[in-house]
Amino acid sequence: MTTETAARIPLDDLLVFHQLTRSLTSSLDLDTVLRTILEQMERTVHAELWTLLMLDESAQELYYAIAAGGEQEALRDLRVKVGEGVAGWVVQHGETLIVPETGEDPRWTKPGRMRSVIALPLRGRKGTQGAIEIFNPSAEQMTDYTIAFLHILADHAAIAIENARDVAHIQHLTITDDTTGLYNVRHLYDVLGRELERADGAGLPTSLAFLDLDQFKQVNDVHGHLIGSELLARTGQRLQELSRKQDLCFRYGGDEFIVLMPETGADAALEQVRSLHRALMETQFHMKNGLTLRIGASIGLATAPNDGAALHAIIGAADARMYTVKSNGRGQVRGA
């Protein structure tokens, strides 16, 4: 950097960059990174509303991850299709968009008091991660210098977001079963241990269902292990579909699965699992090779604190009841 260039950069702005880079490199938690980005944007540009939208790649939609200023509540549940509106246009084209008068721009889709907007893409190594929108910025700040300054902030932000997402992905892999995509047994022990402590402190029950697929060995023997692995994966997906939002599904090992039901007593758990079991038994799995398979399951239930308060006591009680089902004809659900 030449002396002439340095002289044109105010000390306050250099301090902003210094603080930004320190803050963004000090955390790999995505929520912390997003809050840091928005705080720096607020300090840089005086405006009525700042929003940061993240890209949901599977749905090709943007969602409002964080906002500051007015109207945060109204934006919380909104989704923006890539290519639609100001933010959608910015993400689709990877270009900054400055709209001094929103009423005259066809890309403006939000009615209300918002009159102008600066929208910047968050472009990283792997593409555009999202967009930043700054609504009703002060007129004197709509300068080339301010926009250049915001671009630098956005570039730093995009790198930090990518790094945080990469770390989150790696962490997810460590707790996920490769075959089914469900949580693995190591994560089960962590979650169940915490849930039992929480439930004990609050005086709430926690239930657990232990599932063993019936005659799964025959699938491997007749159709091969590739079909067997595919059936395990499809069964895991179906269990998630049939479980409630608050429940968690795990692959325990082999053809064994666990469904953890927080804040659920024995009677409610039995009703839920019987419904799940009926639907699972009726499911036809259409395999990639054109084969259609069905699978049964034997299920044992246990509930804390009635069946014990320790992690292995609950799993052991559910496991024992599952084996009782296995010994008496399979294909049933057994509770306490």
What was the pLDDT predicted at 71?
A: 58
Contacts for 220-228: CB closer than 8 Å, 24+ residues apart: 223/291, 223/293, 227/287, 227/289, 227/291, 227/293
Whether 290 and 220 share a structural domain: yes
pLDDT of residue 307: 94
pLDDT of 40 above 90: no
The pLDDT assigned to 4 comes to 47
Residues 209, 245 within the same domain: yes
Q: Report which listed range, 4-8, 26-30, 120-124, 229-233, is most confident.
A: 229-233
Which of the listed residues 170, 197, 220 is the one where a domain comes to its end?
Answer: 170
Residue 180 lies in a domain: no
Q: Please state, for a pLDDT cut of 70, what percent of the chain lies above it.
A: 85
Q: Taking 60 as the threshold, does the pLDDT of residue 103 lie above it?
A: no
Mean pLDDT of 191-209: 92
Based on the fold, state whether residues 216 and 273 are members of the same structural domain: yes
pLDDT tens, position by position, 261-318 = 999 999 999 999 999 999 999 999 999 999 999 999 999 999 999 999 899 999 999 9
Contact 264, 206 (CB under 8 A): yes
The pLDDT assigned to 73 comes to: 62
Site of tokens 């918002």: 114
Q: CATH code at 19? A: 3.30.450.40
Which SS3 state, helix, strand or coil, does residue 125 take?
A: coil
> Is residue 49 located within the same domain as residue 191?
no
* pLDDT exceeds 70 at position 25: no
What is residue 249's DSSP assignment? Answer: E
User: What are 238-270's pLDDT values in tens digits?
Assistant: 999 999 999 999 999 899 999 999 999 999 999
Please say if the pLDDT value at position 176 is more than 60.
yes
Whether 178 maps to a domain, the answer reads: no
Domain shared by 15 and 123, yes or no: yes
Q: Can you say how many angstroms the Cα of residue 254 is from the centroid of all Cα atoms in its chain?
A: 26
199 within 8 A of 263, measured Cβ to Cβ: yes
Q: What separation, in Å, do the N-terminal and C-terminal C-alpha atoms of the chain show?
A: 74
Could you check whether the bond before residue 106 is cis, i.e. omega within 30 degrees of 0? no
Are 11 and 144 contained in the same domain? yes
Same domain? 312 vs 195? yes
Say if residue 234 is in the same domain as residue 138: no
Instruction: Name which of 45-49, 91-95, 97-101, 111-115 the model is least confident about.
Output: 111-115
The pLDDT of 216-230, averaged and rounded, is 94
Lowest mean pLDDT: which of 169-178, 192-201, 265-274? 169-178
* CATH code, domain with 308: 3.30.70.270
183 or 1: which leads in pLDDT: 183
Residue 235: the pLDDT is 96
Q: How many other C-beta atoms can be found within 10 angstroms of the C-beta atom of residue 163?
A: 18
Q: How far apart are CA 232 and CA 212, in angstroms?
A: 11
Higher local confidence (pLDDT), 73 or 77: 77
Predicted local distance difference test score (pLDDT) of residue 135: 85
Does pLDDT of 5 surpass 50? Answer: no
pLDDT at residue 147 greater than cutoff 90: no
Do residues 304 and 155 both lie within one domain? no
Pair 25, 163 in one domain: yes
The total number of structural domains in the chain stands at: 2
If asked whether residues 41 and 154 sit together in one domain, one would say yes
What is the domain range of residue 281?
185-334
Range of lowest pLDDT (17-31, 74-88, 207-221, 308-322): 17-31
Nearest of 290, 283, 245, 277 to residue 264 by alpha carbon: 245
Residue 117 buriedness (CB in 10 A; 0-12 / 13-18 / 19+): buried
Q: What is the pLDDT of residue 2?
A: 45
Q: Are residues 29 and 126 in the same domain?
A: yes
Q: What does pLDDT average to over the chain?
A: 85
